[in-house]
Structure 1
Amino acid sequence: ADQISEGLKKYGDLASDGRPILDCTAPQLVEEVMTVSGDNMVFPAHVWTPWFSLFGAFSGFDTVEDCYQDMTKHIHALETGLSSDPPMNWRLSKLDHYALLSNSDCHSFWPWRIGREANVFDLPDLTYNQLTSAIIDNDPERFKYTIETDPAYGKYHWTGHRNCKISLPPAEAIKFSNNCPVCRRKFTKGVEQRVEELADRPADYAPKDMPTYKRLLPLSEIICAVTGTNSPATQTIWKPYNQLIERFGDEYNVLIEAPLDAMAAVVDPAIAQAILRVREGTAKVTPGYDGVYGQLVLGIEPLKVKSKAAAVAKVQQKSMSDFW
């Protein structure tokens, strides 16, 4: 890591940000990393995000080769980002020989952002070489599956304009020539539309002998939807969250394995039922667009949760009769 940092620091201030901007080309970056060791692995992250990504609508390329040129031989995987998932990427035959990874936002300081997406491996030994070998071979016996958020949850899934609160699927956006009908400015083109532009396969295409995926949503977001809470940063969310973690060990176990009746014995049954619906893929997500996250829609009345402050206020509140 020190050697890589030493090689890259001439391109910019590596300490300036969790994702520093470097004044070099993509092939130069790969060459610098691979010069340190041929065992190093480089793969592009959130490859469909409109800005600063491999296939981005505003600043990207149409092929991996266009981006990495003679360094393409060192690229073995693509990280799909929140707004796309394996089925969307399977629609491009030119991506068949790349492993599709799903990583999380470790540069974010919000704890509920970490682990939203992940990669699941079954390795003889948990070593760097075993890990990279499973990725390079794209072997479903060792690289089992990815954990994906519903791509509609991502901030750039649909095309739209945040300021005018307009979001559209690809076909509808094209009808408006990708211009906002309210302000006439260009839409931020969504990932689904960008995939549609480059795809050469139908939406239901599924390859054989490839790592699979599980589609989930963060536990905190599910509890938010059930309680009608706007942000996970409240006791309303973390109390049932921690109760579930204490009972079942970790968030993935809650989301993937925990039985409905066992969860309902720990938290409100409505929360348990919502977790099951997300697990089974029956919950709906209103697509995100132009930097706005998608919203989980359960079609139920939010739980009426009273905060401790509200309860205290109610006890202390006097009526007019108290003064007569």
Structure 2
Amino acid sequence: MSADPSMLWRFKEDVNIVSFSDAHSHWPWRIGREATIFDLPELEYEGIMNAIRTGKGFKATIETPPAYGKYHWDGHRACNFSCAPEETNKLKGKCPKCGKDLTIGVDFRVEELAKAKHGYKPDNARQFFSLLPLHELIAFSIGSPLASRKTWEIYNALTDAFKSELDILLNIEKAKLARVCDEKLLELITRNRESRVKVKPGYDGTYGEIVLEHEEQKKLF
């Protein structure tokens, strides 16, 4: 989860990059966060495998923003310190607060192993959507824990009305969403679709966090 196709393309490997969610978390909002979208006449094993191998019928992937992952940046959780790969190199991999080794993140490893520069896009690249889960957006918009009753009430109201969480995040018209959710959540869903929700990168086992600039904060809250 701490990497996306734009990062993996830099390895210049001749493969189609798929994305699948973990299914082992005991938190419901962690399940189904990432997916591969196929455009096939029938979803069956041979067709899916052929689409992955050849790219025919392989339409897109849905990704959680890499910065949201628990090991995207480098850092030392005990000292509440994190940094990008360039800074890690300057620090020689040591925490500037205590001198212990930093836990190296995925972004650093990509920089170590990449064969192409930022922005490289192979011929077989597929579209991908970078989306934070609906649960995260709801909890942030109301300032409530992910597992709170209020968060679940809003989540259930939306999924009862529109059935699919991914459809809510990607496709349902704003006017229809506005009948079920308030203005703050609607704005976050819209920003999420447009990859305009900023995330403070996760590090050393700590998830990334949604952040808003001061002017955005005033507008929404």
Is the pair's TM-score, using the shorter chain for normalization, greater than 0.5? yes
Q: Over residues 205-225 of structure 1, what are the superposed CA-to-partner deviations in whole Å (9 max), with x where a residue is unaligned?
A: 112233221111100001111
- Within the candidate set 257, 260, 273, 2:174 is matched to 260
Structure 1 residues without counterparts, runs of 5 or longer: 1-81, 305-324
- CA offset at residue 98 of structure 1? 2.0
Residue in 2 aligned with 1:162? 77
2:28 aligned with 1:111: yes
Structure 2 residues without counterparts, runs of 5 or longer: none
2:4 aligned with 1:89: no
CA distance in 2, matches of 1:300, 1:206: 34
Residue in 2 aligned with 1:284? 198
CA distance in 2, matches of 1:186, 1:256: 40
CA distance in 1, matches of 2:117, 2:162: 39
- CA offset at residue 302 of structure 1? 10
Change (3 A) 1:302 1:234: farther
Residue in 2 aligned with 1:191? 106
- CA offset at residue 303 of structure 1? 8.1
- CA offset at residue 101 of structure 1? 1.6
Q: Which amino acid aligns with 1:136?
A: R
CA distance in 1, matches of 2:219, 2:147: 17
Q: Over residues 157-207 of structure 1, what are the superposed CA-to-partner deviations in whole Å (9 max), with x where a residue is unaligned?
A: 101011111010011111110111112111111111110011121111112
- CA offset at residue 301 of structure 1? 5.7
Q: Which amino acid aligns with 2:205?
A: G
CA distance in 2, matches of 1:302, 1:233: 26
Contact 2:16 2:124 survives alignment (8 Å): no
Q: Which amino acid aligns with 1:262?
A: K
Contact 1:221 1:232 survives alignment (8 Å): yes
2:133 aligned with 1:218: yes
Contact 1:225 1:297 survives alignment (8 Å): no
2:216 aligned with 1:297: no
CA distance in 1, matches of 2:139, 2:20: 23
Change (3 A) 1:170 1:103: same
**Mapping of residues 193-208 of structure 1, within 5 Å:** 193-208=108-123
Q: Which amino acid aligns with 1:125?
A: E
- Over the matched positions of the two proteins, sequence identity in percent amounts to 45
Greater RCO between the two (CA within 8 Å, min separation 6)? 2
Instruction: Give 3-state SS (helix, strand or coil) of 2:17's partner.
Output: strand
2:165 aligned with 1:251: yes
Q: CA RMSD in A?
A: 1.6
Answer with 1 or 2: which has the greater Rg: 1
CA distance in 2, matches of 1:128, 1:302: 48
Count of aligned residue pairs for this structure pair = 218
CA distance in 1, matches of 2:209, 2:47: 38
- Within the candidate set 91, 104, 118, 1:176 is matched to 91
